[in-house]
Amino acid sequence: MCSIPWGQKMVEHIHKCNRFSKDRLSQDCFSFFVDSEQLGIIRDDILIHFERFPSVFDVNRTNRTVKLSDTLKTSETRSEAMERVLIQLRDEKVIKCLQGWRNECYSVTKNFMETPVFAIERAAAGLLGVKQYGCHLSAYYRSDSEYYMWIGRRSPQKQTFPGMLDNTAAGGMSVGMNPTDTIVKECQEEAGILPELSVKACSVGTISYFYEDERGLFPETDFLFDLEVPRDFIPRPIDEEMAEFYCWSANEVKTKLCSGEFKPNCALILLDFLIRHGLLSPDKEPLYSQLVSGIHNSFPF
């Protein structure tokens, strides 16, 4: 049970998921540019490694800016130069998160669905603080006006947030993928939900937050999907991303959100589910408006 009011506990969690402060830009962070467009933010503890590659990174400590070299004029040349730098740093074992190399690339863009400026290894995206996009699906069914939700537990072998509670299926959006393609793929791989069922998922909006941890900075937008499944449907782990699944009532999920067991962004996604389905009432929750606004953060670039 929550030791403090549930709404206050969730407001505190929202703040934890938005740890990055704009004041940091004048303290220990640098704005990252390609040409004249700011695409990310780099922490000083990470920048000291990139400064070793002046042919790739043009660093101006006076103006607190980092610019990808103007000699790199195409998406391909930028991607190749970035990969060379990251592979060297990975092999030197000087940045911990690069040891979780996934051989999966994210597109780096100023705005969603624009032509990629370059591509970057997924494990390294937080080093540049570039915008990232993910897709999350909540599978549920209704019985006698009660909502029941399928909640996953991440494998203890996961590179990030091992053993924590998660949504039914989720994944980052790789190069060349769109939100629907991504969620259909993740549904089958993580939860054994076949395409003939997952294509019925409804796109229901987004949440956004600016998370920070030892891996770097994560200004992230997640595209959300709801999938109402038959009562006899049971998801099953397929690709070792998930360890098991639980079917909990909405009230049980609400209580568990206070436990600290959920992967941080997944708790925000379930909070959004409770709000959208009217399972959280402004008549009974004094902090309702703060909860609604808190899961739709803006980024400083």
Over residues 223-260, the pLDDT tens digits come to 999 999 999 999 999 988 899 999 999 999 999 998 99
- Residue 2: the pLDDT is 54
Report the distance separating Cα 206 and Cα 22, nearest Å: 22
* CATH value at residue 53: 3.30.750.160
The CATH number of residue 288's host domain is 3.90.79.10
Q: Is the residue at 142 inside a domain?
A: yes
By the 8 A CB rule, do 34 and 118 touch?
yes
165-192 pLDDT, tens digit each: 999 999 999 999 999 999 999 999 999 9
- Give the rounded percent of residues in the chain with a pLDDT score beyond 70: 99
CA angle in degrees (0–180, nearest 5) for 199-111-10: 70
Q: How far apart are CA 264 and CA 247, in angstroms?
A: 20
Same domain, 108 and 141: no
Helix, coil or strand: residue 71: coil
114 and 171 share one domain: no
CA nearest neighbour of 36 among 110, 90, 138: 110
Maximum C-alpha span of the chain: 64
Q: What's the start-to-end Cα distance of the chain, in Å?
A: 39
Q: Is residue 300 part of a domain?
A: no
Tokens coding 173: 């959006």
What would the pLDDT profile of 136-152 be if each residue is shown by its tens digit?
A: 999 999 999 899 999 99
For the beta carbon of residue 76, count every other beta carbon within 10 angstroms: 11
Answer yes or no: do 52 and 11 share one domain.
no
Q: Are residues 151 and 251 in the same domain?
A: yes
Residues 105 and 149 grouped into a single domain? no
| Residue 199 shares a structural domain with residue 166 | yes
pLDDT(161) > 80 = yes
> Do residue 137 and residue 281 come from a single domain?
yes
Where is the domain boundary, 128, 143, 164? 128
Confidence of residue 21 (pLDDT cuts 50, 70, 90): confident
Residue 255's pLDDT is 95
Domain shared by 161 and 225, yes or no: yes
Last residue of a domain, one of 106, 128, 150: 128
Kindly give, in sequence order, each residue whose CB lies less than 8 Å from that of residue 78, ignoring residues fewer than 6 positions away: 34, 68, 72, 117, 118
Is 141 contained in some domain?
A: yes
Tally of domains within the chain = 2
Return the axis-axis angle of helices 6-17 and 264-276, rounded to nearest 10°: 130
pLDDT above 90: residue 71: yes
Q: What is the dihedral of CA 109, 129, 164, 159, to 10 degrees?
A: 90
User: Is the domain of 82 the same as that of 156?
Assistant: no
Share of the chain above pLDDT 90, in %: 92
Q: For all residues of the chain together, what is the average pLDDT? A: 95
Does the residue 278 lie in any domain? Answer: yes
One domain, residues 108 and 228:
no
- Same-domain status, 120 and 173: no
Residue 299 maps to a domain: no
Residue 1 in any domain: the answer is no
Confirm if 243 and 237 have CB atoms less than 8 A apart. Answer: yes
Inside any domain, residue 79: yes
Write out the residue range of the structural domain in which residue 206 sits. Answer: 6-19+132-294
Q: Within a domain: residue 242?
A: yes
Tokens, residue 201 = 């998922």
Among 79, 96, 128, the domain boundary falls at 128
Letter for the amino acid at 284?
Answer: K
Give the model's pLDDT for residue 23: 79
| Helix segments in 164-263, DSSP class H | 179-191, 195-198, 250-256
Q: Are residues 96 and 177 in the same domain?
A: no
